[in-house]
Every structure is written in structure tokens, then in C-alpha cells.
Amino acid sequence: MKHNHRYNSKMRNIKRARTIILFIVMGVFVIVGSAVMAQKFSASKQEVQALDDTSKGTNSEANNSDNKESTTVESLKNDPVADDVAFVEKYLDQQMRGQMPDGADGKKVVYLTFDDGPSETVTPQILDTLKAENVHATFFLVGKSVNESETTKKLVKRELSEGNAIGNHTYSHNYNYLYPHGKIDLNNCMADFEKTNQALKDVLGQDFSTRAVRFPGGHMTWKSKDAKGMGDMDKALHDKDYHQVDWNSLSKDAEGAPKNAEQLKQEVIKTMSGRQKGIILMHDTYGKEETGKALPEIIKYLKEQGYEFRTMK
């Protein structure tokens, strides 16, 4: 009996040891398994996060690359009388090459444009007429004229607030600086455009920008004298989403002998003849009072001919 008791006691100890070992082994498996699962979950989470970050990065890059275009589209949507200046640039270029412009759709459109302002004398007269006739124009401003006085700065604000468009006509308007020896100086021209751009931002707010530029003397003039230089200039402008616009009609208020209001009107009638889309060059700087006097009759004539008045941005 004593032997059996020792035997039974020994067997119980063995079973207890086996049970303890089994629990230890199971515990090790649970710990190791949990660690493996946690590592896999962490790796999966990091992979998902990396993919998400990549997607966000790609979207961000796309948004940045499309930022100018989307801003332009929104700006044009918010302005029912504005056309894309890139369209006007292409239209004029094709027309000057003797091609049928892509935008020749049969609609009669006119863009009134005024260079060299603002001035304290003529610009208010022009703005009063535009407001009275309920039409709008594009003003190609000279930076130094913008900065001339507090009055000229207020006129720039008025131009914009009354629904007109604003373009860039360089800062200095100095031919010797911009076109030394009759050749395009790319660096000087770009510096002048950028300087005017900043002058406009200082007056109208840092969010303001214009894509429309016009060369003093006209793009066509300098291209004929320096084709390669102007080609390089065009690329530099387009890289910054600037678009140059010349004209295909004019009042000749800056050409030849001084003209009175009626003569200026007749020049517009002559140069607009047969045009579906006319970009009319006029000036609102000092000494152009006759232009101010002619404008009501010019607008009246264009309305009678069925033209729609639009701006460019």
C-alpha cells in the first residue's frame, strides 16, 4: 500500500509538470504569434500610409501644375465679358500669317484697348464714357505711370472695380532700355514686365495678376527687326503664362500728325472694315484728349455695326 501511494504521488507530480510545460509552450506560441501579427499589421499600415502619401503628393503636384490654369478658368468664369488672352494672341498670330483664325466663328467682337496710362487727365474721361455706355475695355498700363501719384493709383483701382481688364505694358516704356540697337533685350524686357506686375500687386493686392502684355511699339514691329530675339522672348513669356497682344485696328492717335476726334473715329471705321474680331489700339496718356472726345462716337458706330464689346485676361 505504501508503495502504491508513492507511485500515485509521483504520477501526479509528472502530470502537473507536463501541464505547466504545456501552458508555458502555449504562452510562448501566443506571445510569438502576437508579435508576428503586430509586425505584419504595422508594416501593412505603413504601406497603406506610404501609398496614401504618394497619392497626396501626386495630387499636390498636379494641383500645383494646374494652379495657374484653374485660376485663369475661374477668373474668366467670374467675368462674363472677358476672353482668354491666349485665345486673342493666337487669333492675331494666325491672322497676321494670312491664315483663317481658329476663332473666326462669325461673331462680331471688338476689344477696346488703351495704352500708356493711367493719366490724371484722359483716363478719367475714358472711364466716364465706358461707364455711361456700359461697355468695358482693356488697359495696358505702364508701371511708372501707375506709381506716378495717389491719383493714378486710384484710377487703376477704378479701372478694375468698374469691370475693365488690366494688361502689362512694361514699367519704363523706354525703347533704348528694352530694345538697344533695335534688338530685343530679353532680360530687360522681362525685368520691366515683372516690375510692372509688382507695381500692380502693390496697388490692387498681392493676389492680383494679369496674363496680358503688350510691347511698346508692338510685337510685330520688333519681330520684323529681330525674329530670333522675339522668338526667345515669346518662350520666356509663355513659360510664365504671359501672352502678348498687338492690334488689328487703330485710331492712329499716336501716329502721324495730330488728329481731331472725327478723324480718329474715321481711322477706326477704316481699319475695322470687314473684321469679325477687332482689337483696337488707342491711348489714354497725357495729350490724348481728342481720343477721349472721339470715344463716345466710336462706341456708337461699333454698336450700330452689331459688335459685342469684350475684354481679355
pLDDT exceeds cutoff 60 at 164: yes
According to CATH, the topology of domain 81-312 is TIM Barrel (3.20.20)
Tell me, what's the pLDDT at 30? 47
CA–CA gap between residue 26 and residue 31 (Å, rounded): 9
Tell me, what's the pLDDT at 79? 82
How many other C-beta atoms are found inside a 10 Å radius of the C-beta of residue 284?
30
Confidence at 78, pLDDT banded by 50, 70, 90: confident
Compute the residue count for the chain: 313
pLDDT exceeds cutoff 70 at 15: no
Q: What is the mean pLDDT of residues 180-187?
A: 96
Lowest pLDDT segment from 75-89, 114-128, 217-231:
75-89
- Top pLDDT among 272 and 14 is at 272
Determine what percent of the chain is predicted with pLDDT higher than 90: 73
Domain boundaries of the chain, sorted by first residue:
1-78, 81-312
pLDDT exceeds cutoff 60 at 232: yes
Please, what's the b/e burial string for 204-233 (b: 16 or more CB within 10 A of its CB; e: otherwise)?
beeeebbbbbbbbebbbebbeebeebbeeb
Tell me, what's the pLDDT at 45? 41
What single string gives the DSSP state of each residue in 268-290? HHHHHTT-SEEEEEEE-STT-HH
Q: What is the mean pLDDT of residues 201-209?
A: 97
Confidence at 52, pLDDT banded by 50, 70, 90: very low
Rounded to the nearest 10 degrees, the angle between the axes of helix 186-204 and helix 150-161 is 80
Tell me, what's the pLDDT at 58? 38
**β-pairing verdict for 249-250 and 277-283:** parallel
Q: What is the mean pLDDT of residues 32-39?
A: 48
- Top pLDDT among 250 and 20 is at 250
pTM of the model: 0.78
Q: Are the beta carbons of 182 and 171 closer than 8 angstroms?
A: no
pLDDT exceeds cutoff 80 at 31: no
Instruction: Spell out the long-range contacts of 176-179 with Cβ–Cβ below 8 A and sequence spacing 24 or more.
Output: 178/215, 178/216, 179/217, 179/222, 179/225, 179/226
Determine what percent of the chain is predicted with pLDDT higher than 70: 75
- pLDDT tens digits, 87-146: 999 999 999 999 999 989 999 999 999 999 999 999 999 999 999 999 999 999 999 999
Torsion sign (Cα): 75, 77, 81, 85: positive
Tell me, what's the pLDDT at 62? 40
The beta strands (E) that lie in 49-194 are given as 82-83, 109-115, 137-141, 165-168
